[in-house]
Structure 1
Amino acid sequence: MATSIVNTDKSFTAAEKPHKKKKKWQSYALLFILPSFLLYTLFVIVPTAGSVYLSFTSWDGISSDVRYIGFANFIEIFQSPRVHNALKNTMIMTVTLVLLENIAAIAMALMVDKVRWFRNLFRSIFYFPTLLSGIVMGFVWAMILNYNFGVFNQILTSVGLGDYIVDWLGNPKYAMLSIILSTVWKGAGYYMIIYLAGLQGIPQELNEAASIDGAGGWQQFRHITFPLLAGSMTVCMVLSMISALKIFDQIAVMTDGGPGFETETLTYIIYKVGFGELRQGFGTALAMVLFLIILIITVIQVKFLQKREVQL
């Protein structure tokens, strides 16, 4: 009887050893995570909490006078025609950019995937604009679209289309379109890489079988390629939507929110109000509203696109 008790104790001790070893490694893992967590807390969590507080104040961003004013900033946001106009411009740019960037990215990915010669060259050419910063891209396109000496107007003149020359960045009808097209030129290459990875993951046997059955190129894309790109499309559309809602660099360089307020978006009005008009409290409140808009739209978009993936 005594022998059996001793054996039981030994087996219990042996079972405890892996558990203790696991706990020891978990402690070491926490030590490795701790520096990153402290930096994240210091530079993300604490400023975010401070921003929530500042959104309820009338702070000017410079003085030490931080006066609590309750929901006055948020009431002004929902009553301000300027904010309503900026929200409208933001939504127009977002919807248009998401559609055009993804259409262009899919088209470029299909082209690169099908081409036999110079595939890496075309991939590099399409991806190169992504490497440029928004500021550099804005300056480049501002010079290209300049009314007096811009390359685009000079090309129109040289081919006999001088009657179609307009001030692309100074005309309210074309300023937003110019920003959208230049942004598509810059961003589509990034999403092309994601779609290209999705295309290369599609089994070629499916297209070959469809071709044998008489399906043409468009039918193969519609019934095979496009549905199987659902996962890549979810990622690209969410990233494109978030990027479009936060667009700032191109507007700051190309139009400065003008002409008038025609290209002023929520991110740009946050900058103008917070740093130009020294209303940091109001600007922070507007940033909180933009954060909620991005969060809500992202959640809805992800749920819709993931549901489409399941159905496919």
Structure 2
Amino acid sequence: MLGGEEGIAVSGSAELRCFSAMASLLLRGIGTLVKSLAGLSCGQAPRCSSSSLPSGISSLQFSSTRCFSERPTVRDHPKRPLSAYIRYFMDQHVILHKQHPDLKRTEITRKIGQEWKALPDFVKEPYIVAANAERQKYKEEVKIYEDHLTPLEKKVQKAERQQKLAKRKSSRKRRELINMGKPKRARNAFNIFMSEHFQDASGMKAKEKFKSLFDDWGILESSRKQTYIQLAEDDKIRYENEMKSWEEQMIEIGREDLIRLKQRNKLKKLRPILKGPKVASKKKKTSVSRLKQSRKTAEPNEGRKARSRISRHEE
């Protein structure tokens, strides 16, 4: 008969062997399932028919495409070819950077652009020929690429293209507003607090600094918070005054599309009042209607005269 400690050791080893056997069986089952799923294609995935399902869930369908398929992605689109100017720019940029290492990138770009404009046609010709050849090759690659796209991939590509166009349009408009001198938006109290204490905030990355400043703002005394709230109110007044004068300038130069929607609607309501009542337009309408009526009455009279002339000729 085994002692207490020996009995416990034997029972523990038996449980361990049993657990290891169960784990190995489970791993074998998972491996078999993975192999069977790997052999199935999306088109060959079986669906449960209504006859094989119970009556309560006959409308449900199960497929491997729903369970295991990822988000549809579009294959890499052929890259656009470089233009003749970009080819010339890449050649000259290396040379100018070696000759003038102290020059800024913007100055080098401006200098190369001026040189390209002054170049004669026979110097530009090799770059233009190479660019045209690459463009023709690009068109052929795009045609092959689009022929191999599935309908789902075409939809995804169209959505991505629309997103890119919308992003490009918004960035272009933002750049235009900056160039036109649109005032900066008013800052709130937390933004003013963050701009003052950002350099001294704890953390190496900007995200860490922002988190620490947000925590500091939460525990800040109400009396100190009130100072930043008052600064935010003053900044709001500044923004409104600057926007009012800027929008007046935009209206004067005929760029009403850049002003705020609220001000644009106000301007539409004020225009009829500034122009006065539409009396002249009514007079024009009445004169036009009278002219039409006179033409209508004149046409039958001319017809009668013509008929009387024909009858007299026949007599």
Q: Shared topology, TM-score over 0.5?
A: no
Identify the TM-score tier after normalising by the shorter chain: under 0.3
- What TM-score, normalized by structure 1, do the two folds share? 0.20
